[in-house]
Structure 1
């Protein structure tokens, strides 16, 4: 196989966190390169206050994801993140952080995404904060990305917007309505994968990729 997997996601999407082991498994199957494309679903106009109703909805959804995938959503996350009414539900900062990684060490972007997800859903850390995100990148040894994030310039913000625009164009092209969305391409041919398999049967997702 010589294929590219376009992974459309949002760093604050619980279902994307649930799909993380399956996405890693696809890469381990060999012959697949990965292009991460944040959609901006929960940033900009998609950001919203974290009120009681939304927090309750999110926790209910998170518990369903945990039952399906085994991915952990901790009480620290529930108390510190969902319980904090001062926070916004805004993936903009984390999206910019990942773009900084894509510009400096692109091969480590998936690792950075998984670290951001773990920091939020397991450690209960505030990944809406640029300072927290920069510290997280430095802890991973991604110092150049952390420096870019600490002082966002036109290059970083422009690259971030371009990635989101490309993701949104692919979603329109394939009629995708949410994230995660997985699109596999080989040469000029591209097709949408059934990402539901990422939760219940990751092996089925690998079979789809191999057959594409």
Structure 2
């Protein structure tokens, strides 16, 4: 039986960050029986200056996410969001960093996504900077040279990967990041990510029931 959980993600998306506890718990629960596939859902496909209005929106959204899921937001991140008037976001570098790690293993990709999110939301680092991302890769025992080589290859096909991501979402009638799509024997089902935020265990059990249904 072929089983995949497609994740449409953006490392700069607060609700993708909110999904972190579910993603880690699901990989532990299924112990390799559920293949996690990463797809870039680029919120900021080009470098975008962050306006004061959008900063206010993000701070309000972050407060909701923290209350709902308990994921941490650091003082460095909040200060940067409030005081760096030249702040700009670009989803492509951190998304490709995750995909580069995915070439090595799903676990390494998940670790990189977690490291980028921690670097961004807690440490206030510029995770759109390739050298910062390469340093994260080295922390995870992925050599800088190998990481940069993989990154250079993948950056050439990011438009194709984003198009594939959109086609995948269209096939189940969803959009935006994050999105979860469960695929069992080539049949796809959209999973409402709100359950993953609010009750990760229930989402895991929902997936487990789907697997048992197809096994019976």
Give TM-score, length-normalised by structure 2. Answer: 0.88
Coordinate RMSD, CA, aligned: 1.9
Of the candidates 183, 186, 200, which is equivalent to residue 185 of structure 1?
183
CA distance in 2, matches of 1:18, 1:176: 19
Q: What's the offset of the Cα at 1:167?
A: 1.2
Confirm or deny: 8 A CA contact 1:10 1:16 kept in the other structure: yes
- CA 1:56–1:89: 2 relative to 1, 3 Å: same
CA distance in 1, matches of 2:99, 2:182: 21
Question: 5+ residue gaps in structure 2?
Answer: 211-216
Separation in structure 1 between the aligned mates of residue 34 and residue 105 of structure 2, nearest angstrom: 18
2:194 aligns with 196
- Tell me how far 1:17 sits from its aligned partner: 0.4
1:4–1:35 contact (8 Å) kept in structure 2: yes
Q: In the alignment, is the contact (CA less than 8 A) between 2:38 and 2:99 conserved in 1?
A: no
Question: Could you tell me which residue of structure 2 aligns to residue 138 of structure 1?
Answer: 138
Structure 1 partner of 2:40: 38
Between the aligned partners of 1:53 and 1:65, the Cα distance in structure 2 is 19
Instruction: Determine the structure 1 residue equivalent to 2:118.
Output: 118
Superposition pairs of residues 69-80 of structure 1, within 5 angstroms: 69-80=69-80
Q: What is the SS of the residue equivalent to 1:71?
A: coil
User: Does the 8 Å contact 1:193/1:208 carry over to 2?
Assistant: no
In structure 1, distance between residues paired with 2:110 and 2:82: 25
Q: How many residues of Structure 1 are paired with residues of Structure 2 in the alignment?
A: 207
Q: In the aligned structure 2, how far is the partner of 1:199 from the partner of 1:99?
A: 23
Shift of 1:166: 1.7
CA distance in structure 1 between the aligned counterparts of 2:122 and 2:158, rounded to whole angstroms: 26
Query: CA, structure 1 residues 82+89, in 2 after alignment: closer, same or farther (shift >3 Å)?
Result: farther
SS of structure 2 residue aligned to 1:29: helix
Give deviations 1:100-149, integer Å, cap 9, x for gaps.
22234454111101100000001111111111111111122111443326
Report if the CA contact (8 A) 1:81-1:125 is conserved.
no
SS of 1:12 mapped into structure 2: coil
Mark the runs of 5 or more structure 1 residues left unpaired by the alignment.
Answer: none
